[in-house]
Amino acid sequence: MAHPPGKYADFEGLRERAVALRRAGLSRRQIRDRLHVDNNDLLNRLLEGGPPPEWTKRPNAKDDLRHKARGLRLQGWTYDQIQVELGCSKSSISLWVRDLPKPERKRSYEEAAAIARKGWEATLRIRDEERQRTKEAAKQAVGDVSPRELFLIGAALYWAEGSKDKPYDRREKVSFVNSDPGMIQVFLSWLDLLGVERDLLRFTVMIHESADVGGAERYWADLVGADSSMFNKTTLKKHNPKTTRKNVGETYHGCLVINMLKSADLYRRIEGSWCGIVESVREADHRSRT
């Protein structure tokens, strides 16, 4: 619809009508149609400062938190205090209460710092809970692993963490090393799937000399269910006094090396399987591009 010349000349008069309609509970679209204002920028200026009617607001799961946050802010609470009380982020609190007056500072720097620390601890707790929920959901989504899936996982796992044959350095033997007990358990399950006898395996613990060597040896022996006759002499890594080790504490057990005797044939099968995986992926990618 074309507007006659000078239609918006009386801006203040038009704004009064727009605000009155807003207070009467009309939506932006209704006001636009009623006043024949087709320019969104102009409509924004006309309605600036006027709160939207309650019925136009979409329901929000955090409406209750927002209401509580605003009430606490009106009582003079700080963002940190509200965060500790409600367990929500400061960014959300800021959006909810930024139009309210800022409370006067009533605490010392030390008191404010203590509250800020509690707020940060609450934030870290919320993040950790979200992190754990995401991990748990992903774990449950895996479900049962079929023999074929385990076979493919094991081949890829070995090619990432196992020793490999080179044209300049022939190493056609199965040797796998890792510090993650889960990786070790999956690798051993994979060997069981392939029918590898456990008496063909030899284990070696690798660990810093300043760590609990005996504890690490017992830990790995219990994990793999092997007696001392299957373990080689532990390899100790010299400690550099100029460096500060971060891999310390009760959870540090070093690495475990798994070597398989008479394993040239199995190594060749692993390398061939990995090449088959790569080729299959390449062909699938080529088909999707053509």
Q: Tens digits of per-residue pLDDT, 34-82?
A: 888 888 888 888 888 766 666 555 555 578 888 898 999 888 888 888 8
Give the integer Cα–Cα distance in Å for 230 and 227.
6
Mean pLDDT, rounded, for 209-213: 89
6, pLDDT greater than 80: no
Shared-domain flag, residues 264 and 162: yes
Shared-domain flag, residues 237 and 183: yes
Shared-domain flag, residues 284 and 198: yes
Q: Tens digits of per-residue pLDDT, 174-205?
A: 999 999 999 999 999 999 999 999 999 999 99
Of 51, 46, 48, 58, which is closest to residue 25 (Cα–Cα)?
51
At 180 the pLDDT is 95
Amino acid at 239: H
Mean pLDDT, rounded, for 107-121: 80
Q: Tens digits of per-residue pLDDT, 242-272?
A: 777 677 778 899 999 999 999 999 999 999 9
In-domain check, residue 199: yes
* Residue numbers of the domain that contains 89: 63-135
Pairing of strands 255-260, 235-237: unpaired
Look up the pTM and report it: 0.58
Q: Tens digits of per-residue pLDDT, 9-22?
A: 678 888 888 888 88
Structure-derived torsion over alpha carbons of residues 66, 69, 71, 76, reported in degrees to the nearest 10: -150
In-domain check, residue 6: no
Shared-domain flag, residues 240 and 153: yes
Residue 76 φ/ψ region, left for φ over 0, alpha for ψ in the -120 to 50 degree band, beta for the rest: left
Pairing of strands 201-208, 235-237: parallel
Q: pLDDT-derived band of residue 226, with 50, 70 and 90 as boundaries?
A: very high
Beta bridge partners of 237: 208
Map tokens 């196992």 to a residue: 162
Mean pLDDT score across all residues of the chain: 86
